[in-house]
Structure 1
Amino acid sequence: MERNGLDAGSRRRRDVALEVMEHLQPDILFRQEESAYDEEGRLRDEEAHRLGMESYVSPLSRERNSPTATLIRPGLFQLEGEQDWHGGVSKPVKILTVRMRGTTRPLKLTSLHLWWCDPILRATTARRVTSLADKGEAAVLFGGDMNSYPHRDPADITPLPNWDEVPDRVHYEHRTIERDGERVSDTLPDEILTGRGVFVELGHYAYTELRRPEALAPTATLWRTDQGPGRRIDRLYASPDLAPALLSLEVIDNKMVRFASDHALVVASFDLDTFRGALTEAPRHTTDGAERLAPAPAA
């Protein structure tokens, strides 16, 4: 929600957003723009209470605006640790390590909001996030506003911007990079995160493996018209062992969502047994260097 759903003393947008989320009843929620988050945590606590979840907010940036938050359902997940990243990222990031009830392998979670106006900082943050997959000791799931574009979507379903048709020239400076002597749309964060299979982008997985073209629907912006048609800049990523648990990925931009936010909701549903299975197995190194999954020994 832009400005956390608060407008000059009115909280109507915020109330509508919370109503939408109460209806969905998520087990994990990645939030961006927890703006107006106060030191006493009143907005955080209100949100968590209404959704029946626990909320963990990233540290405030130097500009003291727009932190992110990750919310988890306490009956399903138990917090094992928190880590705050201040360096090597575009803005502070909070990493949660949780344990799903009845499993043996940790799960790392984080909510991202890549920098809106600096492609270099976006790429730097993406590279730092790949460290979550180091050694494969934990499964990883994260999502957020990437402020950049997917690099493998079919052009007939999710075309990259035609910058000659975008009136906002500042937006062009923020969302393009130089490649082979030309200015092109910034797809670098997605390339880094999915390179050599480090993570799976779940929208692309839903399209290719589940045959769900609707998973590639645009997510932003729902309000402005000077930045061209909507684009798929809000995305979810998972370590490859979690991807087979995906049942569906839906982009929700109905009337209530459009009133509450300039971004659509991206909702992933997982098969619980398959998800648990991935968190009750450990990576095993083979002689050819590949990693396969083997059951963890029973206690």
Structure 2
Amino acid sequence: MPGQRFIRIVTSNFELNGGGDMGKWERMHALLKSLNPQMLMRQELVGCSRNTRAGSRLWEASCRALGMAGWLAHGKEATALYADPTVVEGLEQWPDTGPDWWLDPAVVTLRLTGTKIPIIAASAHLRYDSPAKREAEADWLTRLNDQHSTRVEGQEGTPTALPAAVAMDSNSYPEEGTPGDLPLPQPAQIPNAPHRAHRFRKRGGVWVPDTVPDEKLRLAELEDAARHLAEAKGMTEALAATMPASETHGPATRIDRVYLSCVLLPAVHQIEVIDVGDLSDHHTVVLTLDLGVLRDILNDLALFTLAA
């Protein structure tokens, strides 16, 4: 870590984990490694499993290809979280994320080297076919910003809530209101009828795009990092589409997002959306944090905790 200025959090939905095409699998893992992530959140870990020999081999090969430590979510073909062990220490994977999930999130308590206050990191994949179920999953994720607290190890003091970083394929839309954000689609723009049912909910007798997961997370002070950059720094390029237009899904959308506890927002430096071409139906999102600012925030939390 000496001399390192930034820390990169990458989130990537690699479609069906390559769908059995190992050439595509190898190319995607090489691309992800080239982005030099210190934390990587992934979705659609199809074929990876703790319970079968082939699934375990594929999972272990993923960690080797990336050169990172990894934690695979509980449940089928779900999500995973990886970390660079030279920068981030994994403390504990959460053993139970409750019954609300169709695809369980990977949730790990991590500690940045040289700091005392850990971060709760999560990779989530909200349900594709039900606004009501997505709302319940978003409700669960709000817990990450308030229910778990810690004391600085070996010290007396008041517990402090741990800050969180949550990256996801939200299968839903960001709330309107940010200058430069993509316009939300209307039902007539979605050619596929089941997909229209999956992505819209009725409000006041009118079918509107489902933005409830975003609204719930932001109400709980887990802020959309791209929205923060656009509003606070005018960096509207952070609001680029993360899923291109398609014949079934309609216009390009920004459904892959990273949320941070508001206390971490001063560390947000940049967001890049990486077009991965034919490797996946989602682009990859890279959030860059200022490492010095992030460490100061975490160490200030530790001082506040000890002084309380």
Output the TM-score relative to the length of structure 1.
0.87
User: CA 1:153 to 1:241, structure 2 compared with 1: closer, same or farther past 3 Å?
Assistant: same
Q: Is this contact kept in 1: 2:223–2:262, CA < 8 A? A: yes
1:279 aligns with 2:298: yes
Q: Is this contact kept in 2: 1:13–1:261, CA < 8 A? A: no
| Structure 1 residue 164: Cα displacement | 1.1
| Structure 1 residue 221: Cα displacement | 4.1
Match of 2:68 in 1: 53
RMSD across aligned C-alpha pairs, in angstroms?
A: 1.8
Q: Which structure carries more relative contact order (alpha carbon 8 Å, separation 6+)?
A: 2
Matches within 5 A, 1:1-299: 1-7=14-20, 10-38=21-49, 39-40=52-53, 41-60=56-75, 64=76, 66-83=77-94, 84-134=96-146, 137-154=161-178, 157-195=181-219, 198-221=221-244, 224-253=246-275, 257-282=276-301, 295=304, 297=306
Q: Give CA-to-partner distance per residue, 1:57-96, whole Å, 9 cap, x none.
A: 1112xxx3x3100001111111221213132334322321
| Structure 1 residue 279: Cα displacement | 1.6
User: CA 1:198 to 1:157, structure 2 compared with 1: closer, same or farther past 3 Å?
Assistant: closer
Report the secondary structure of 1:85's partner residue: coil
Q: Is this contact kept in 1: 2:30–2:66, CA < 8 A? A: no
Cα separation, 2, equivalents of 1:82 and 1:48: 16
Structure 1 portions without partners, runs of 5+: 284-293
Q: Is this contact kept in 1: 2:39–2:83, CA < 8 A? A: yes
Cα separation, 1, equivalents of 2:187 and 2:91: 46
| Structure 1 residue 154: Cα displacement | 3.8
Cα separation, 2, equivalents of 1:192 and 1:177: 15
User: CA 1:154 to 1:93, structure 2 compared with 1: closer, same or farther past 3 Å?
Assistant: closer
Output the TM-score relative to the length of structure 2.
0.85
Cα separation, 1, equivalents of 2:181 and 2:28: 28
Alignment size in residue pairs: 277
